Amino acid sequence: MITGIHAVVFSPEAEKVRGFFADVLGLSSVDAGGGWPIFALPPAELAVHPDGGSRQQLYLMCDDIRATLAELESKSVEVTQQVADQGWGLLAAIRMPDGSELPIYQPRHPSPHPSLAAPLHRLDPRAVSVGEWDS
């Protein structure tokens, strides 16, 4: 039985990105041996979308995108994509220390985790339905 998800971020500047996850995003970690940190993640979700090829993406989730981006900017994190309303959520992106972008969004869609579910007052009645996400 599946007991969790182990996500991997590859980077030519792994130490800087590890520091970003620890110091800026505040993720706790354990030493997996030899100083190799494994970070704890908040609850996760997995979606499967149709595409012309196979690929994976990692998104951070938050409950207030504007407040989260303001907090990250106060820690000198560059916001590379301003907030855009996608219907299913409010999407932005931030720059990691290796120069790559990391998408972050405030969901408006239902979640299998009660702690991640969008409060009813934040749900947009114009938001797309699950079947429309894939188009």
Element (H, E) at 18: helix 14-19
Could you read off the pLDDT of 99-133 as tens digits, one per residue?
A: 999 999 999 888 887 776 655 444 444 444 444 44
What count of Cα atoms within 13 Å lies in the side-chain half-sphere of residue 119?
Answer: 5
Check if the beta carbon of residue 107 is closer than 8 Å to that of residue 128: no
Nearest alpha-carbon partner for 59 in 27, 85, 94: 94
Mean pLDDT, the chain, integer:
86
Model pLDDT, residue 109: 85
- Determine the Cα–Cα distance for residues 109 and 131; give it in Å rounded to an integer: 12
- Determine the Cα–Cα distance for residues 53 and 63; give it in Å rounded to an integer: 31
pTM score, two decimals?
A: 0.79
Domains of the chain as residue ranges with CATH: 14-42+57-130 (3.10.180.10)
Could you read off the pLDDT of 96-107 as tens digits, one per residue?
A: 999 999 999 999
